[in-house]
Amino acid sequence: MFQRVATVFLLSLNVQLIPLYYGLAVDTNAKNVADLELLCHIIKLHSASTESLDDGDLPNTEKDELEKLNTTLSVPAWKGIFQTAESKDDEDPAYCSKASDKPACIKQWNKWKKLAAAAAASENLPSKVLHDAAKLTSPAGTAAQLMMAQILAEADALEANYKTNIQKEITAAKKLQTGKLQDAIFGKQAKPDTANSRCTAAVQTNRQITCKPSKAVATVCGTAVCICAKDATQQNGDLCSDATSSTQLNYGSSNIGTVYEAIASKCAHAPAEKLSSQRIHSLIAAFKARLKTYHAVGGAVVYLGTVSSDTNNCASSDSNGCADFTELAASKAVTAVKTDNWIDQLLEAAETLRIAEAATNKRKETVTRLQNLLKKGRELYTRLAVVEAPTLIGKPTDGTTGATNKHQAATAKEEAKKECNSAKD
């Protein structure tokens, strides 16, 4: 009985291990898996989330209400030319008949109409108080008008600065994934969403010449091809694990997009990223840390991947493949190192992102300042309700008694004080 159970167990174990043995078999020459893993994370920057980069217009709630308060405090003679009830836009108001920019004038006129209608309803105002003509034309009313105009001017300046500077800096970063980042990863003529056309790189007559920053290694995808692809010589196993080299690289041809397709399908499994300047800098630092040096007789080689054991460089070699970055090593250069490669392009993208990240904080600060300006405007409007309007000598003309008027004024004053204290809190 024991022998039968042991036999069944061993057979079962053998069946379970067959796929594992097979997996190990196809990866016996997978020397560059870790290098490709890093490149996959860099490639993933192209589809990283930009949710934190908000370049939309500022909320208009605060600005709209400030404009309404400003209209409410305007002199009665000005407000009197508008209807107090909402109405359709005027197509050709007389006010704009001689305007140099008539369309702009008509647009502004209809905006004033809407503001005047909104400002005429006390329920739309702080403390639900609509100041009368006597109070608006008093010294306190005039002072309130000037202060409200100053508050609105400050809000206008904040909005203008956002549109002119802050918004553009954020938008520039959001365009990176179809601009500089895309070019660095896939090449300028690449179509990242089209199969077999995702990668463009300068393939030359042999692997050694091809796999340099001035050629195919100028892009991230070209670098990945150099450390993973098979060619007529490199045929033994998969350098970057199973299914990353299904198409042989042909030198002097333009099939690098097809060769890269297998790599792209594997890199697509990498986790989602959030696009940030810090993320780019950390990936570049990790890349530089993975570079190795081979001290050959013909000269040291700085490379990613596995150097040829025959020629001690990145030439075609069975069981080996690398990307030669010696051109970018200052210690090996005889002239200034060129910066037209994906590493420097990513650094430029990181700087654009850094500026955008700072601009995003400025956007939040701008919104907060607008909210504070609105609070200030509401307090100003409420304080005016507490101010005594000029008293006319004589009997009331509205059919009420003086005592009744005084009681109503005292009640309004008390309500205004409560609203003012509430706004301050």
Domain ranges of the chain: 32-78+109-116+127-391+400-425
Sheet holding 292-294, edge to edge: 292-294, 301-306, 321-324
Element at 301 (helix H, strand E): strand 301-306
CA–CA separation, 373 vs 153, rounded Å? Answer: 10
What would you report as the CA-atom Rg of the chain, rounded to the nearest whole angstrom? 36
**Residue 57 zone, left/alpha/beta (φ > 0; ψ -120 to 50; rest):** beta
CA–CA separation, 110 vs 93, rounded Å? Answer: 9
Q: If you search the block for the tokens 């400025």, which residue do you land on?
A: 362
Handedness of CA 369, 74, 398, 385 (dihedral sign): positive
Asked if residue 28 lies in contact with residue 22, where contact means CB atoms within 8 angstroms, the answer is no
**Which pLDDT belongs to residue 389?**
61
- Residue 324 has φ and ψ, to the nearest 5°, of -90, 110
List Cβ neighbours of 132 (8 Å cut-off, separation of 6 or more). 389
The angle, 0 to 180 degrees and rounded to 10, between the axes of the packed helices 33-43 and 277-290 is: 160
Half-sphere exposure of 300 (CA within 13 A, CB side): 11
Asked if residue 122 lies in contact with residue 129, where contact means CB atoms within 8 angstroms, the answer is yes
Q: If you search the block for the tokens 């007789």, which residue do you land on?
A: 297
DSSP, residue by residue, 229-287: ---SS--SS-TTSTTS--S---TTSSTHHHHHHHHHHHHTTSPP-B--HHHHHHHHHHH
CA–CA separation, 149 vs 146, rounded Å? Answer: 5
List Cβ neighbours of 310 (8 Å cut-off, separation of 6 or more). 317
**Which pLDDT belongs to residue 416?**
42
Across the chain, which has 425 residues, the per-10-residue mean pLDDT values are 40 37 59 97 96 95 92 80 76 85 86 78 80 88 94 97 98 96 95 94 92 96 95 82 86 88 95 95 98 84 89 87 95 88 97 98 98 96 79 48 43 45 44
Asked if residue 182 lies in contact with residue 192, where contact means CB atoms within 8 angstroms, the answer is yes
Cα 398 to Cα 33, 36, 130, 340, 412, distances in angstroms:
91, 87, 18, 83, 18
